[in-house]
Amino acid sequence: MPRAVKPGRKRDGRLGPPQGYPKDPDRYADPANWKYPVHTPFHARAARRYFNEPRNRAKYTPEEQAYIDKKINEALERFGVAVKIRGGQVEDEAGTIQADVPLNKDIDKMTFEELLLVFLGKNRLASAKAIDPALVSVDKETETLLSGRVKDYSVLIDRHQKRLEHDCVDFRTNRAVGRLMCKHLGAFLMRLDRPKATRFLRELLRERDRWTFE
């Protein structure tokens, strides 16, 4: 394995942090170029996904790649997101590394579908759409509390306490650790008032690290 060396300045490097992003260069896997922010779990996952693309890795020497890989993996470990690297390729472990918010994407401009994709990934989003609406019930839908059932599973979303509770196996064992959603939660959100559900997902995406998923 090459010795890790901090990347130097690149032609396409940024001169400073993107708007709304950390001003501390140590919160980036490539601090010299203000690239690959790793200050939150979903930014660390996004950094891993983007840096896994060969065209992005090719901009760096093997030693610089090793440095960026190390920084990203340390962040993922710190946030409790499991990751394996084999031959430079990411192995999805426990389903926690999925589609995430694109780097520098304006959350306020993301559609309901785009927001769901962040939390579900393509496969689970397709599965959520396939659930019969008759199997989804919404018992309470206020500004602060959302509750109901999907099949035999309960759903509780408390915006005041910043808590999301759900009892299916996929969510409890795979998704909650990465603050992501399962197909049942996706199906539940599809039954809500669409503007209200979109506002909730935008809020959740901004403040996901402050929420409890259990």
What would the pLDDT profile of 117-127 be if each residue is shown by its tens digit? 888 888 889 99
- Round to whole Å and give the CA distance between 47 and 68: 9
Q: For residue range 9-47, what is the model confidence (pLDDT) as tens digits?
A: 999 899 998 888 889 999 999 999 999 999 887 788 888
Report the half-sphere exposure of 46 (CA within 13 A, side-chain side): 18
CA 211 from chain centre, in angstroms, equals 13
Mean pLDDT over 78-102 rounds to 49
Q: Collapse the DSSP code of 190 into the 3-class scheme (helix H, G, I; strand E, B; otherwise coil) and give the result.
A: helix
Would you say residue 191 has pLDDT above 90? yes
| DSSP conformation class of 162 | T
- Round to whole Å and give the CA distance between 182 and 155: 11
Contact 189, 204 (CB under 8 A): no
Mean pLDDT over 151-158 rounds to 96
Structure token pair of residue 142: 């206020």
Instruction: Say what percent of the chain tops pLDDT 70.
Output: 87
Q: Which residues on neighbouring strands pair with residue 166, listed in sequence order?
A: 155
